[in-house]
Structure 1
Amino acid sequence: MASLNRRVRRVAATAVALAACGALTPAGTATADTSTPHGAHGAHVTTVPLAQGLYQSAYSERNDVLWATASVGQPPAPTTGSQLLRIDPSTLEVEAAYTPPTGSTVEAVYGIDVDDEHNTLWVTNTRNNSVAVYSQRTGRHLATRPDVNHSREVVVDERRNLVWASSFSDGALVAFDSRTFKEIRRVTVEGSGPTGLAVDERTGKVYAADFTNSRIIELAPGSSAPRLIPTGTGPLSISLSRDGRTAYTADQGSGTLSVVDLRSGTVARSVPTGEGAKSAATEPCSGNVLVVNRLTNSVSVVDPRAGGVVETVATSALPNHVKVTDDSTAYVLDKSASGSAGEDGLTRIRLDSRAHKGC
């Protein structure tokens, strides 16, 4: 829903002056190595090696750019490198790469979302327990905000000039003003472990997948008492239907997509997708939901109304995150290290919405 609002407002948007806090260093680019197998129901698939340490991606309609985060080094080993990648969604080539600031450690980037209203990027610096803001126009680092312990994901509410971050270790949802970058709200749910986030821009409600307790945390504007809604086992990611009445969680523990009726607060359906279900995203045109299955090297296209998988698309090993755009294109990042220099890959899936009850 945020992308729909971006499209409406983009026409009237004016240039926003962004404060610069220090330039980032451009890094090398990757060349697209395209192959074009086809899915059984019309999906057109292209996979390219991109960079080591890929995590998440976000798409900017304002700039027609796919952004991705990459950080190398698994705990307890130190992070040896990190990049923000600016990718041409047509060619899948890296147009520019920016290196985050380095203090005592690298301010490594993991989660990501775009704020097209203010032409910025928000990222989680998970291992540094903070979030940071970058300029989409120049790639410059604008601010870092601390005290978001094990910051995992961010989501932008452009209508309300808010950015929400999940603080996994604190069991908290933290909101920042997208204009001033200041923290303005923090709601803690004791004993919770929030991971994935989604926001309904029409109502202002923010939703978090509570991995620790297999439930959804729903927080309404002005409320300090979140609503807790059960879902599948070990949810890592959450997405919403176009009308905001249904939530979908990718349940790592049970390898399922849970279809949750938000009005009744109940699980309407549980759809098996594959072992290690990790990331979910809703395709706006058809209403289908894509689920990344990390341990079966695949993406499931689920029809949530019928309650079944309509297509399974093979990916490289260890797919990690999926982003779906309004033109029915999905971008899947993996951690396969399958490139000639050990790069992880990007898979672009062009969905045939007509084959999936599309618009």
Structure 2
Amino acid sequence: MTSSTRSRRRTIATALAAGSALALTGTATANAAAKAQPVESAPIAKGLYQSSYSERNHVLWATTAVGRPPVVSSSLVKLDPETLKTEATYTPPVTDAATGALEAVYGVAVDDEHNTVWTTNTRNNSVAVYSQKTGEHLATLPDVAHAREIVVDPVHDTAWASGFGDGTVVGFDTKTLKEKKRVSVEGSSPTGLAVNSLTGTVYAADLNNDQIIAVSPWSRTPRLIPTGDGPISIALSRTGLTAYTANQTAGTLSEVNLLTGKVTKTVPTGAGALSVATDARSGDVVVANRTAATVSVVDPWKGEVVKTVTTGANPNHVEVADGVAYVSEKSAGGPGGEDVIRRVTVGK
């Protein structure tokens, strides 16, 4: 669903609500208004990892997993992106009846074209596909060693997963759910992913080799592009001509010109820079700094941090949609020790 379509539907809904206002009591109106108010943060569940926004359904999907194998507590959570209230919780399949071990979910990306959610099942060396409509587990796709992150290219019907364990980037067909491409870089440790849907090229942050692995759907040989110290997450500019890496070791953001393959700017953001995302509205870049417990908003034109927000402990992942950054905090900051999602306004 496009933004304009959603806006028209909201306008119609507002008009209908106005026409019915006389039938509502003052208390009911106040309660409805209070319910719709966005919240700054909310406890979600223990073991929170990543989130991904669905424009089609106006839903935020999040993953949780607790403990080391056998992991017996894990879930795919459907959230209201305004109120951060849980709308549904889905439990991954059991992989071992004797221990109750689950196919625990960690990375997440939505495919709005096919109305599905893709997850990485890191400890099971696989990825999985779920229905956005029902939460049904549709498939498990094996052979992605220590699958860390996943990203969807809706134009080329491809979901890309990073195989941190064996230096692979693996592409799956989002229509047939079959593997379609696999590229390996010896000695690499691919982590975060970003995809240019115009060209179909996927970019992986190579944590151990301080580089970006660029995989074109039309080439067998990946391109290797230098970046900052300890890149663990990557995002692209609106044009797709610039990459930004969050460099965990250096605590910086690197701006990389993908045409020349050169680092053009380095911006200190905070200790343990762990996750990066770009805001399509403003062009700003958002970095979650895990050790510093902050979120930095960087103006790429100025090459500097223009806003710093203090979070709870251990911000782990950032997702940006409609000018809002959703920050997953592994802070155990909820009343029952739950981890928290925080909303941060981005842009001018």
User: Residue 340 of structure 1: SS of its match in structure 2?
Assistant: coil
Give the distance between the partners of 1:188 and 1:8, measured in 2 at CA: 38
The answer to whether the 8 A contact 1:317-1:336 is kept is yes
Counterpart Cα distance in 1 of 2:217 and 2:4: 22
Please give the residue correspondences for 1:77-92 in structure 2 after superposition, counting only pairs within 5 Å: 77-92=69-84
Per the alignment, residue 59 of structure 1 pairs with 53
**Deviation of residue 78 (structure 1)?**
3.0
SS of the equivalent of 1:232 reads coil
TM-score, structure 1 length as denominator?
A: 0.85
Partner of 1:318: 314
Is contact 1:45–1:350 with CA below 8 Å preserved after alignment? no
- Counterpart in 2 of 1:149? 145
Superposition map of 1:160-199 within 5 A: 160-199=156-195
Indicate if the aligned counterparts of 1:45 and 1:349 stay in contact, CA closer than 8 A.
no
Deviation at 1:45, TM superposition (A): 7.3
Give the aligned CA root-mean-square deviation in angstroms. 1.7
Query: Structure 1's 10 and 180: CA in aligned 2 closer, same or farther, altered over 3 A?
Result: farther
Task: Name 2:234's counterpart in structure 1.
Answer: 238
SS of corresponding position for 1:159: coil
The residue aligned with 1:344 is 339
What's the counterpart of residue 333 of structure 1? 328
| Residue equivalent to 1:275 | 271
Aligned runs of 1:102-251 on 2, under 5 Å?
Answer: 102-104=94-96, 105-251=101-247
Report if the CA contact (8 A) 1:154-1:166 is conserved: yes
**3-state SS of the aligned residue for 1:103?**
strand
Which residue matches 1:254? 250
- The change in CA–CA distance for 1:224 and 1:9 in structure 2 (over 3 A counts) is farther
What CA deviation, in whole Å up to 9, does each residue of 1:36-68 have, x standing for no partner? 9xxxxxxx9711111100000000000000000
Q: Does the CA-based 8 Å contact 2:39-2:84 persist in structure 1? A: no
Q: Tell me the amino acid that sits aligned with residue 189 of structure 2.
A: G
Secondary structure at 2:275 match in 1: strand
In the alignment, residue 343 of structure 2 is paired with which amino acid?
A: R
Do the aligned residues in 2 keep the contact of 1:250 with 1:291 (CA within 8 Å)? yes
Deviations 1:247-268 (A, max 9, x none): 0000001000000011110100
Deviation at 1:8, TM superposition (A): 7.8
Q: Partners of 2:89 and 2:62 in 1: how far apart?
A: 10
Question: In the alignment, residue 47 of structure 1 is paired with which amino acid?
Answer: S
**Residues 149-174 of structure 1, C-alpha deviation per residue, up to 9 Å, x if partnerless?**
10000110111111100001110110
SS at match of 1:143: strand
In structure 2, C-alpha distance between the alignment counterparts of 1:336 and 1:258, rounded to whole Å: 27
- Between 1 and 2, higher relative CO (CA 8 Å, sep ≥ 6) is seen in 1
4+ long deviations beyond 2 Å: 6-11
**Cα distance in structure 1, aligned partners of 2:95 and 2:153:** 30
Taking every aligned residue pair, what percent have the same amino acid on both sides? 58
- Structure 2 distance, partners of 1:106, 1:204, is 33
Alpha-carbon offset, residue 7 of structure 1: 2.9
Q: CA deviation at 1:103?
A: 1.7
- SS class of match (1:127): helix
Q: Which runs of 5+ in 1 are unaligned?
A: 1-5, 12-33, 37-43, 355-359
- Equivalents in 1 of 2:275, 2:83: separation in Å? 24
Count of matched residue pairs: 315
Structure 2 unmatched ranges of 5 or more: 7-34
SS at the partner of 2:155?
helix
1:331, 1:278 → 2: CA distance?
14
Deviation at 1:198, TM superposition (A): 0.4
Give the Å deviation of 1:10: 8.1
- Return the offset for 1:242: 0.1
Aligned partners of 1:66, 1:181: CA distance in 2, in Å? Answer: 23
Whether 2:277 is the aligned partner of 1:285: answer: no
Match of 1:96 in 2: 88
Whichever structure has more helix as a proportion of its residues is 2
Contact 2:188 2:206 in 1 (8 A): yes
How has the CA–CA distance of structure 1 residues 139 and 45 changed in structure 2, closer, same or farther, with 3 Å as cutoff? closer
**How far is the alpha carbon of 1:350 from its aligned partner?**
2.2
Distance 1:181 1:8, change over 3 A: farther
Structure index of larger Rg: 2
- Report the TM-score when normalising by structure 2: 0.88
Contact preservation (8 Å) 2:194, 2:203: yes
